[in-house]
Structure 1
């Protein structure tokens, strides 16, 4: 049976829930600060000027993930987070398929890109299944949690 996800712009209660997700092991670097801290620092979806870019995705009543869709001059950035209880179950691929459709409607013709840590093979597999390919060399960059290496992955938009 094919699961059909629903989605909508992120809501306040969903921001709080996402901040409570707990990833284990090496994935714990994806644990977010408390929602209060995110609001104080104007981080991500807690920044009122950025929240319009965020969508949440549901399988029935279960919040399975979110995306950050940000139009740039010549392309569209997609950030994705999947509920840790829903990882490795195909939700990431489905979320990216819907996000690609949103981008095709809002930003037709602009290519999509995302960045993923090079060690995160689970995410790289997911993104490949969703039609993204590695573009160029490894990127070295600083994040709010320290230095890391990333792949830039791209997908042609329709």
Structure 2
């Protein structure tokens, strides 16, 4: 069942074949952070992708090109622990574009399609996202889409630390 169609995209509730394909996507350095976990953890990743907060995105001809998630799964651990997501004024959005499509100018149309879908599906009036600070390509895209920087925080994962930026859009009414 297609939940939204526009801009040449079909956005559907994530199904198992799409989830299995996504966990096998591999991003090149420095974007390896976005790779799903190793094969040993694939079942866990697939289970999360199928929890009802993830949506697959296919091009008009049917090829899987990305995904969106909304709500808590789009949040980052230390941001949650720091209470950065508690105000309830924005819908958290997460996204992933198929690795071979990144850096080619597809991002803005893709992101805007996910935001439009969430406006219609969740009655979202404002969006918030968390992005790794090193990912200047994504930060630039989010600024073009109207996101502004709210906070930064450090996420601890095992032995490594990474800075994340918390960005948010103004209310939809303010953007009109």
Report the TM-score when normalising by structure 2.
0.74
CA contact (8 A) 1:103 1:157 kept: no
Is 1:33 the counterpart of 2:60? The answer is no
For 1:46 and 1:85, the matched residues in 2 are separated by 24
Is 1:53 the counterpart of 2:53? The answer is yes
Is 1:98 the counterpart of 2:113? The answer is yes
1:144: Cα distance to partner? 6.7
Which sections of structure 1, spanning at least 5 residues, go unmatched?
Answer: none
Which sections of structure 2, spanning at least 5 residues, go unmatched?
Answer: 1-6, 73-85
For 2:38 and 2:126, the matched residues in 1 are separated by 33
Is 1:131 the counterpart of 2:135? The answer is no
Counterpart residue number, 2:4: none
Counterpart residue number, 1:152: 166
Deviations 1:12-54 (A, max 9, x none): 0011111111111211121112466142xx44x5237x62111
When the two chains are superposed, the root-mean-square deviation of aligned CA atoms in Å is 2.4
Report the TM-score when normalising by structure 1.
0.81
SS at 1:52's partner residue? coil
Q: Give the number of equivalent residue pairs.
A: 151
**Cα separation, partners in 2 of 1:140 and 1:38, compared to 1, 3 Å:** same
Q: Deviation above 6 Å: which 4+ runs of structure 1? A: none
